[in-house]
Amino acid sequence: MKKTLSLFTGLLLAGSSLLNAKDIELLNVSYDPTRELYVEYNRAFAKHWKEKTGDDVKVKQSHGGSGKQARSVIDGLQADVVTLALANDVSALHNKAKLIPEDWQKRLPQNSAPYTSTIVFLVRGGNPKNIKDWDDLVRPGVSVITPNPKTSGGAQWNYLAAWEFARQKYGSDAKAKEFVAKLYKNVPVLDSGARGSTTTFVQRGVGDVFISWENEAFLAQREFGKGKFEIVIPSISILAEPTVSVVDKVVDKKGTREVATAYLEYLYSDEGQDIAGKIFYRPTNPKFVKKYETQFPKLNLFTIDEKFGGWTKAAKDHFADGGTFDQIYVK
Amino acid sequence: MGLLKKKTVLPGFGLSLGFTLFYLSLIVLIPLSAVFLRTTELSWDEFIAAVFSPRALASYRISFLASLTAALVNAFFGLILAWVLVRYPFPGKRVVDALVDLPFALPTAVAGITLTALFSANGWFGEWLEGTLGLKIAYAEPGIVVALTFIGLPFVVRTLQPVIEELEPELEEASAILGASRWQTLRKIVFPQLVPALLTGFALAFARALGEYGSVVFISGNMPLRTEITPLLIVTKLLQYDYAGATAVASAMLAASFVLLLLINLLQRWSRRYQNAN
């Protein structure tokens, strides 16, 4: 009897010590150009979480076009957190499948956008086509690379930035549409995601200018050396706010709400902000804004809420079936 | 009824027919009917609008034309390849034979990326084709045909090989002895026996090409109205959460493919008329 009891306690102890150092696995479903950011950040967070709780946390990453990723989650991909290119794709999780509450964007600071970015141009070394601003992209003979805005979050930012430039310069939405139509006449390839477009431009050598995420442009430049590619900063661009959210339905089922929430909150910590700055995302914490000030060029940035009345409206006006993007292709 | 009652030597006709129908329903019919069911969310007008939108029409054109071209190319070169592989011994034959299956095994995305790297303006082939001859392959219509030809090749070769093996050389010898020229022998003796299998291979390659997505999206450039294939249009619609629109286009494509395959099947039957004469 005594023997079985001690055996039992032993088992219990072994069991509880196993419970104490849990192995947690999270899935972070993200968009295309965040690979490098989250590789580094996941390592930092795992260390932080181990120190804080003693648990080992392993974060798996999934990357792809932002819209495609959102759809995978809606269709049942068990993502604990989503870190997508734009608020509209995260909202789809609520609108289409009620995976998250409607007010998800209010749950974290800065409208759930821990880091921001913008849209710049990447051109070939020496800038042979002499590209300086948005209106150079519609010149005949300039070939422009940008992904398909129907499937890529980054491409929607590109599209809206070009639109707003033309609206300010030429004065009306009708003129802006004409401008964007001309720009897309110069696009020879529409990849489904930003990373695909980077490959097309960088590896395949297609196109004179690549409308790119700022961080992606810096990464390409760092990887291939300054001589091969140059970054061109347009006079005006859009403040892109990639947003993050815990997927409530999934974390409640898996019991990972606490760690998943901490994972996202840690993006706002000093370490998280520092990593974001290092991987060329613009930090939001003023301390780190200052630290990385010299790294990012200064340009006139506008937000989608100011100029397009928020994502829901912008998506409906421009990217839904029959929206302006369809109109410029189908006359 | 008389057809069902026909006596055969082997037992179990009822059971196996039942199983066949059940299995086909489970694997093919139920998933496919789900496609059609989903389209019922649309009104008739919406359905027509989705199926006959200019973008959808352009995508059917490019999908069917490119698949047809690729299947024809495969039928011609696949026939030669199969003939050589069966009839002539040469060193390294087994390796070549195994290579034919590679497009089956290779993930289509890998094929797409590799072909794009080769045929883009800075690739091995593309440099020469585009730079010297001015032929644009990658990111244009020919790129789609190249990808579809690649993935369809094994279908023709593998359907023809066993038939060529079964051909009796005696028939060719007899034809030659009776005074036929080599061309006549080929045209009147060999070719008619190969036609049914060739048609099967052609139909398989064609059907496979119609549904291909993975390799084409890398090489085609995906431009609406020009190089956007129907499967890509369907995926694009899915990504916009337009499930009903996607299934509408899919069902149109499915119906068209079914009719085409049925026609090819009938053609095949007709081409077999000699064999079944006795």
From chain A, pick out residues whose CB is under 8 angstroms from the CB of B221: 188-190
Q: Which of A68, A74, A206 sits opposite B121 (nearest CB)?
A: A206
Residue A62 φ then ψ, to 5°: -135, 135
> In chain A, which residue's Cα lies nearest the Cα of B239?
A68
Check pLDDT > 90 for residue B144.
yes
From chain A, pick out residues whose CB is under 8 angstroms from the CB of B52: none
* Helices and strands, number each (H, E), in chain B: 16, 0
Residue with tokens 């890509």: B232
Task: Annotate B95-158 with DSSP letters as a single string.
Answer: HHHHHHTHHHHS-HHHHHHHHHHHHSTTSHHHHHHHHTS----TTSHHHHHHHHHHHHHHHHHH
Mean per-residue pLDDT for A177-199? 90
Q: Is A30 helix (H, G, I), strand (E, B) or coil?
A: strand
CATH of A117-240+299-329, one of 1.10.287.3240, 3.40.50.300, 3.40.50.1000, 3.40.190.10: 3.40.190.10
Q: Does B124 touch chain A (CB under 8 A)?
A: no
Q: Does A151 touch chain B (CB under 8 A)?
A: yes
Check pLDDT > 90 for residue A8.
no
Q: Which of residues 36-95 of B touch A (CB under 8 A)?
A: 53-55
Residues B216, B134: Cα–Cα separation, whole Å: 22
Q: Which of residues 52-71 of A touch B (CB under 8 A)?
A: 65, 67-68, 71
Closest by CA to A117, choosing from A327, A311, A284, is A284
Check pLDDT > 70 for residue B114.
yes
Q: Would the CB atoms of B224 and A190 count as touching at under 8 Å?
A: yes
Check pLDDT > 60 for residue A81.
yes
Look at residue A19 in the predicted model and tell me its pLDDT: 52
Q: Would the CB atoms of B117 and A206 count as touching at under 8 Å?
A: no
Domain layout of chain A by residue ranges: 2-113+241-291, 117-240+299-329
Q: Would the CB atoms of B239 and A65 count as touching at under 8 Å?
A: yes
| Burial state string for B232-270 with b = 16 or more CB within 10 A and e = fewer than 16 | bbbbbbbbbbbbbbbbbbbbbbbeebeebeeebeeebee
First to last CA, chain B: 24
Check pLDDT > 70 for residue A12.
no
Q: Which of B138, B223, B239 sits opposite A150 (nearest CB)?
A: B239
Residues A309, A314: Cα–Cα separation, whole Å: 7
pLDDT digits (tens, 9 = 90+) for B258-269: 898 898 888 888
> In chain B, which residue's Cα lies nearest the Cα of A67?
B239
Please provide the average confidence, as pLDDT, over all residues in chain A.
89
Q: Does A89 touch chain B (CB under 8 A)?
A: no
| Contact between residue A79 and residue A247 where contact means Cβ atoms under 8 Å apart | yes
- What ipTM is given for this predicted complex? 0.72
* A2-113+241-291 against A117-240+299-329: fold identical: yes
Check pLDDT > 50 for residue A13.
no
With bands split at pLDDT 50, 70 and 90, how would you rate the model's confidence at B11?
A: confident
Residues B252, B255: Cα–Cα separation, whole Å: 5
Mean per-residue pLDDT for A160-172? 95
With bands split at pLDDT 50, 70 and 90, how would you rate the model's confidence at A299?
A: confident
Look at residue A251 in the predicted model and tell me its pLDDT: 94
With bands split at pLDDT 50, 70 and 90, how would you rate the model's confidence at B1?
A: very low
Mean per-residue pLDDT for A270-278? 94
Check pLDDT > 90 for residue A174.
yes
Look at residue A17 in the predicted model and tell me its pLDDT: 47
Look at residue B278 in the predicted model and tell me its pLDDT: 40
| Burial state string for B92-119 with b = 16 or more CB within 10 A and e = fewer than 16 | eeeeeeeebeebeeeebeebbbbbbbbb
> In chain B, which residue's Cα lies nearest the Cα of A152?
B239
Look at residue A140 in the predicted model and tell me its pLDDT: 93
Q: Is A116 helix (H, G, I), strand (E, B) or coil?
A: strand
Radius of gyration of chain A (CA): 22
DSSP A298: P
CATH of A2-113+241-291, one of 3.30.470.20, 3.40.190.10, 3.10.20.520, 3.40.50.800: 3.40.190.10
Q: Return all residues near B64 (Cβ < 8 A) that are at least 6 apart.
A: B210, B256
Q: Which of B138, B218, B239 sits opposite A67 (nearest CB)?
A: B239
Residues A112, A246: Cα–Cα separation, whole Å: 10
Q: Would the CB atoms of B53 and A330 count as touching at under 8 Å?
A: yes
With bands split at pLDDT 50, 70 and 90, how would you rate the model's confidence at A192?
A: confident
Query: A305: which strand partners?
Result: none
Residue A326 buriedness (CB in 10 A; 0-12 / 13-18 / 19+):
middle
Residues A184, A274: Cα–Cα separation, whole Å: 37
Residues B21, A79: Cα–Cα separation, whole Å: 39
Check pLDDT > 90 for residue A168.
yes
Residues A10, A5: Cα–Cα separation, whole Å: 8
Q: Does B110 touch chain A (CB under 8 A)?
A: no
Residues A247, A224: Cα–Cα separation, whole Å: 37
Residue with tokens 């990972």: A256
Query: A300: which strand partners?
Result: A236
From chain A, pick out residues whose CB is under 8 angstroms from the CB of B218: 196
Mean per-residue pLDDT for B180-184? 92
Look at residue B59 in the predicted model and tell me its pLDDT: 94
Q: Which of B123, B221, B239 sits opposite A71 (nearest CB)?
A: B239
With bands split at pLDDT 50, 70 and 90, how would you rate the model's confidence at A329?
A: confident
Map out the domains of chain B with their CATH numbers: 37-271 (1.10.3720.10)
Mean per-residue pLDDT for A189-205? 87
Look at residue B66 in the predicted model and tell me its pLDDT: 96
Size of interface A-B (CB pairs under 8 A): 64
Check pLDDT > 90 for residue B115.
yes
Mean per-residue pLDDT for A153-167? 93
Look at residue B276 in the predicted model and tell me its pLDDT: 53
Check pLDDT > 80 for residue A330.
no
Please provide the average confidence, as pLDDT, over all residues in chain B.
89
Residue with tokens 């499948």: A97
Look at residue A6 in the predicted model and tell me its pLDDT: 56
> In chain B, which residue's Cα lies nearest the Cα of A97?
B241
From chain B, pick out residues whose CB is under 8 angstroms from the CB of A329: 55, 224-225
Residue type for B52, please?
F
pLDDT digits (tens, 9 = 90+) for A88-133: 899 999 998 999 999 999 999 999 999 999 999 999 999 999 999 9
Query: A30: which strand partners?
Result: A83
Q: Which of A150, A188, A203 sits opposite B221 (nearest CB)?
A: A188
Suggest the residue from A73, A86, A189 to mutate for an interface test with chain B (most B CBs closer than 10 A): A189
Check pLDDT > 80 for residue B6.
no
Residue A166 φ then ψ, to 5°: -70, -35
